[in-house]
Amino acid sequence: MATLLYRLGLLSARKPWAVIVAWLLLLGGVTGAAAALRTPLSSTMTVEGLEFQQTLDTLKREIPDAAGGIGTVVFRSDSGRFTPAQQAAVATAIKDWEALPQVADAIDPFATQKQLDDAQRKTAEGQKQLDASEKRLRAGEAELAQGKGQVDGAARLGLLKGQQLTDARAKIAASTKQLEDRRTQLERGKRELALGQREVALTKDTRFVSADGTAAMTQVRFHQEIHSVSPEQRQQVTALERQLADAGVKTYFGKELVEDVSSVMGPGEIIGIVIAAIVLLVMLGTLVAAGLPLLMAIGGVALGTGTTLALSQVVELNSVTPALGLMIGLAVGIDYALFIVNRHREQLKTGMARTESIALAVGTAGNAVTFAGMTVFIALAALAVTGIGFLGTMGFAAAGTVACAVLINLTLLPALMSLAGHRMLPRRVWRSHGFNARGESLSDAHPRDSEHADRGWGAVVTRHPWLAIVAGLALVAFLAVPATGLRLGLPDGGSEPESSTAYQAYATIGEKFGAGANGPIVAVASLPAGLDELATKDKQLDVAEALKLDSGLVSVMPAGLSKDGRTAVYQAIPKGGPADQATVDTVHRIREDAAFIKDVTGADVKVTGQTVANIDISQKLADALPPYLLIVVGLSLVLLLMVFRSVVVPLIATGGFLLSLAAAFGGIVAVYQKGTLGSLFAVTHPGAILSFLPILLIGVLFGLAMDYQMFLVSGMRESHVHGEDARRAVRTGFSHAAAVVTAAAIIMVSVFAGFVHAELAMIRPIGFGLALGVLIDAFVIRMTLTPAVMHLLGERAWWMPRWLDRIVPDVDVEGVKLVDRVQGHPHA
């Protein structure tokens, strides 16, 4: 591999313009394809085969109208209670929404609330009317009985005979029939009233206008699922905000209506890139050298993200997918370029010819970059083994961006370094190493840096290894403690910025209507066949009342019935918010009680809706976490065994990765679940952690952790292979790689930290977790604990059984053999 990359670097350095033109054509084609083929991103996460999805499919089939997506809109009056004029303005807006072709219907909150409020009064009036009817019926029955007795008595006395008797008895029969009909109507009225009273009891806590009259809530129901409604169609709904504002009504739209998933680059991300540029400029000393890693990162991201967006025609993309590719692509693109540029610069300082130096840098540092990139690629692509579609898509998209970063650094970077020539080093560096400003030798004397190994952090750590180990483990343990309380969920309006309309809608609903109104549970019941209209209604309410027995529900409202009367749908409002543990427990109880409800009512009950979907998806992701972690750890051990030809080093590296992971999880839980330092990170509503974050963090952090392990420890192995004592090799190898790894880690942390205040709320905890994970892994695990442990182990750190040494392929990731061959037979 090293020799192949050496030749590739040599070709790129000798024919730079051909390489540059090829890349420009490729980037232009991909950019054009992305612009022409991209489709709107989705904020929805679906997992096939889960119970909520199967229930939703049933609902779509039986009651299509009830399966449409719902957007929540909240109204608040500027003047306290809503005035009649403001209510009329809201009613007009409702009609305007219903006139939109994509909208199935919208609820007028004031008219609906009036119906609910009047229902109890109407049932009371209905009871009075029934009582009066029954009184009249009984009087009629008494009168009929008296008349029948008189006719029978007259007949016995012979006073009524023949036709007179026949007519009298016919009249009695007709009156009896009328009374029987009235009795039937009365009994039906009683049943209807009883059903109405039961329905009123079920919905008495359901509100569309707050009790104080200052807020109202409506639901705009679309013909399609919410993620299928285009941004333009949603904007037609939100466009009425100005019309309502003119009437003194503030309008807040739910997250599902206003979430902007089109922007993957915001001010925070740009700040992260600026910090990375400053670090590069300080370290490399020239604008040319500092600009190359940034250019490579941008080019790799453009290729990877552009390809991903172009493929959105055939694969549904979640909004996090391109953002994740952007985040990882920028970080690894800069870091990989930095490692190659740094190697080239170090070789130039020794007087190596420019073209030869470029080729050797690609063959050595580029070889390490290739293996590091393969590690990240495999870890991300392995997300597909979870069986979760959207997660696999994220993994492949991010892995593809990493592959683009590796490819561009192995081909375009050498071409540009060739054109940059002597400008890769500042003049002061050329002079300090005995060269003029054009890199031409002024003397044969070059400064030696062997004393560097005895200075700096590496020397401090190896002089006091036990102190370094204890301090490092104590810090990791402190950060990891909150991870024991990790709770998973999917984001809701409470995770949006406090100033956003989505957050205001969420907060207003929670304040005025209860936390559960933000996350209703949809229940679907399959009713028995062969029931008449009233029996069907009775059974529908039986199910609702059985559901309402759960202590975690505030109200259960029948929301629809299929044409054949076999499928009923309900909206159940839980006491807790959509991501609260109490709501999760309520959903689990309803499912556990399904057998009881079946026994009592004869109906099969299942639950669905966004709240249930979030719970089911989170559970599926949590279940996938242990096997995925096992795959990643196993992969880590195998790859590092090949790279370092040691049994011990892979164990140290993998153990360090697990420590970094625990610290990152702990920090995420502390900030985003418990709200610690929430104001600093704009966490206004702490809650459950993004359900796919842990598994995503494992994949990404594993790859990045192995990068630093590879670049730091490969230097130690290279020194050891060249004959240095194992403990001395730890210091020497550390000193060679410490500066570039430090800069690379700072850059990566800066890029990830830039996403902590991203436009897309879902990406923020991911950016935070990766920034913290890389920070801990690079500076605590790889640059403190690893050299300390390896110094204590000495030669034992490189132990490997002979039989294993014979069967494990020698990948020579450091390019030691290539260096020996090239230096022995330099290329002219």
Q: How confident is the model at residue 282 (pLDDT cuts 50, 70, 90)?
A: confident
Summarize pLDDT for 481-498 with one digit per residue, the tens: 999 988 888 777 777 878
Q: Give Cβ neighbours of residue 558 (< 8 Å, ≥ 6 apart).
A: 199, 202, 540, 541, 544, 568, 569, 570
End-to-end CA distance of the chain: 22
274 plus 195 within the same structural domain: no
| Predicted local distance difference test score (pLDDT) of residue 315 | 80
Q: How confident is the model at residue 525 (pLDDT cuts 50, 70, 90)?
A: very high
Q: What is the mean pLDDT of the chain?
A: 85
Summarize pLDDT for 736-781 with one digit per residue, the tens: 888 888 888 898 898 888 888 877 777 889 889 999 999 999 999 9
| Predicted local distance difference test score (pLDDT) of residue 826 | 46
26 plus 120 within the same structural domain: no
- Say how far residue 717 (Cα) sits from the centre of its chain: 40
| Predicted local distance difference test score (pLDDT) of residue 668 | 95
Return the axis-axis angle of helices 456-463 and 465-480, rounded to nearest 10°.
100
HEC per residue, 268-320? HHHHHHHHHHHHHHHHHCCHHHHHHHHHHHHHHHHHHHHHHHHHHHCCCCECH
Q: Mean pLDDT over residues 167-189, rounded? A: 86
| Predicted local distance difference test score (pLDDT) of residue 827 | 42
639-648, 657-666, 774-783: the lowest-pLDDT one: 639-648
Q: Report how far residue 768's alpha carbon sits from residue 752's, in angstroms, rounded to the nearest whole number.
A: 7
111-120, 268-277, 391-400: the lowest-pLDDT one: 268-277
Which has the closest alpha carbon to 217: 450, 640, 488, 510?
510
Does residue 628 lie within any of the structural domains?
A: yes
Q: Report how far residue 701's alpha carbon sits from residue 822's, in angstroms, rounded to the nearest whole number.
A: 35
Whether residue 581 has pLDDT greater than 50: yes
Q: How confident is the model at residue 620 (pLDDT cuts 50, 70, 90)?
A: confident
Q: Mean pLDDT over residues 772-796, rounded? A: 93
Asked whether the CA dihedral 388, 389, 394, 396 is positive or negative, the reply is positive
Q: Report how far residue 775's alpha carbon sits from residue 751's, in angstroms, rounded to the nearest whole number.
A: 12
Q: How confident is the model at residue 416 (pLDDT cuts 50, 70, 90)?
A: very high
Does residue 6 lie within any of the structural domains?
A: yes
Summarize pLDDT for 75-98 with one digit per residue, the tens: 999 888 999 999 999 999 999 999
Does residue 169 lie within any of the structural domains?
A: yes
The tokens for 118 are: 């009047």
CB contact at 8 A, 313 and 37: yes
Whether residue 661 has pLDDT greater than 90: yes
HEC per residue, 376-416? HHHHHHHHHHHCCHHHHHHHHHHHHHHHHHHHHHHHHHHHH
Quickly count: other Cβ atoms within 10 Å of residue 118's Cβ: 11
Domain boundary among the residues 152, 178, 203 is at 203
699 plus 789 within the same structural domain: yes
For residue 440, with 0-12 CB atoms within 10 Å meaning exposed, 13-18 middle and 19 or more buried, which class applies?
exposed
Domain boundary among the residues 158, 186, 203 is at 203
208-217, 486-495, 576-585: the lowest-pLDDT one: 486-495
Q: How confident is the model at residue 714 (pLDDT cuts 50, 70, 90)?
A: confident
Q: Is 3 helix (H, G, I), strand (E, B) or coil?
A: helix
Summarize pLDDT for 227-254 with one digit per residue, the tens: 778 778 888 999 988 889 999 999 999 9
Whether residue 34 has pLDDT greater than 90: no
| Predicted local distance difference test score (pLDDT) of residue 779 | 95
Does residue 388 lie within any of the structural domains?
A: yes
| Predicted local distance difference test score (pLDDT) of residue 547 | 93
Which has the closest alpha carbon to 520: 473, 576, 574?
574
Domain that holds residue 129: 112-203
708 plus 802 within the same structural domain: yes
Query: Which of 436 and 121 is assigned the larger pLDDT?
Result: 121
Q: Report how far residue 479's alpha carbon sits from residue 473's, in angstroms, rounded to the nearest whole number.
A: 10
The β-bridge partners of 690 are 489
| Predicted local distance difference test score (pLDDT) of residue 123 | 83
Which has the closest alpha carbon to 503: 10, 167, 72, 196?
72
| Predicted local distance difference test score (pLDDT) of residue 448 | 46
Percentage of residues in the chain having pLDDT higher than 70: 93
Whether residue 444 has pLDDT greater than 80: no
- Say how far residue 171 (Cα) sits from the centre of its chain: 78
Q: Report how far residue 783's alpha carbon sits from residue 788's, in angstroms, rounded to the nearest whole number.
A: 9
559 phi, psi to nearest 5 deg: -120, 0
Q: Is 34 helix (H, G, I), strand (E, B) or coil?
A: helix
655 plus 787 within the same structural domain: yes
Does residue 436 lie within any of the structural domains?
A: yes
Q: Report how far residue 515's alpha carbon sits from residue 688's, in angstroms, rounded to the nearest whole number.
A: 15
| Predicted local distance difference test score (pLDDT) of residue 449 | 46
| Predicted local distance difference test score (pLDDT) of residue 432 | 61
Q: How many domains does the chain have?
A: 2
CB contact at 8 A, 684 and 494: yes
The amino acid at 645: R
| Predicted local distance difference test score (pLDDT) of residue 597 | 93
Whether residue 44 has pLDDT greater than 70: no
| Predicted local distance difference test score (pLDDT) of residue 270 | 78
Query: Which of 457 and 300 is assigned the larger pLDDT?
Result: 300
195 plus 309 within the same structural domain: no
The amino acid at 324: L
131 plus 18 within the same structural domain: no
Instruction: Say if pTM beats, i.e. exceeds, 0.85.
Output: no
Whether residue 789 has pLDDT greater than 80: yes
171 plus 312 within the same structural domain: no
Which has the closest alpha carbon to 400: 518, 315, 290, 477?
315
| Predicted local distance difference test score (pLDDT) of residue 261 | 52
| Predicted local distance difference test score (pLDDT) of residue 200 | 84
Instruction: Give, as one character, the DSSP assignment of residue 209.
Output: B
Instruction: Give, as one character, the DSSP assignment of residue 498.
Output: T
Q: Give Cβ neighbours of residue 323 (< 8 Å, ≥ 6 apart).
A: 264, 755, 758, 760, 763
Q: Mean pLDDT over residues 406-422, rounded? A: 93
CA 816 → CA 10, 87, 126, 261, 361, distances in Å?
A: 18, 79, 94, 47, 12
Which has the closest alpha carbon to 376: 706, 654, 766, 649?
706
Q: Report how far residue 771's alpha carbon sits from residue 754's, in angstroms, rounded to the nearest whole number.
A: 9
| Predicted local distance difference test score (pLDDT) of residue 268 | 64
281 plus 198 within the same structural domain: no
Instruction: Give, as one character, the DSSP assignment of residue 506.
Output: H
Percentage of residues in the chain having pLDDT higher than 90: 32
Whether residue 480 has pLDDT greater than 50: yes
Which has the closest alpha carbon to 43: 573, 614, 508?
614
Return the axis-axis angle of helices 287-310 and 389-420, rounded to nearest 10°.
150
**Can you say whether residue 440 is alpha, beta or left, with left for phi > 0 and alpha for psi between -120 and 50 degrees?**
beta
Which has the closest alpha carbon to 216: 119, 95, 72?
72
457-467 burial, b if ≥16 CB within 10 A, otherwise e? bbbebbeebee
CA 111 → CA 94, 226, 433, 572, distances in Å?
A: 11, 25, 84, 21
394-408, 626-640, 652-666: the lowest-pLDDT one: 626-640
Domain boundary among the residues 203, 231, 247 is at 203
Whether residue 316 has pLDDT greater than 90: no
Summarize pLDDT for 106-145 with one digit per residue, the tens: 999 999 999 888 887 888 888 888 888 888 888 888 888 8
589-616 burial, b if ≥16 CB within 10 A, otherwise e? ebeebbeebbeebebebbbbbbbbbbbb
Q: How confident is the model at residue 604 (pLDDT cuts 50, 70, 90)?
A: very high
Which runs of E-coded beta strand occur in 485-620?
Answer: 488-489, 521-526, 553-561, 567-574, 604-608
The amino acid at 18: A
* 164, 166, 167, 170 alpha-carbon torsion, rounded to 10°: 160
CB contact at 8 A, 446 and 351: yes
| Predicted local distance difference test score (pLDDT) of residue 381 | 86
The β-bridge partners of 555 are 573
Quickly count: other Cβ atoms within 10 Å of residue 385's Cβ: 14
| Predicted local distance difference test score (pLDDT) of residue 447 | 44
Q: Mean pLDDT over residues 797-807, rounded? A: 88
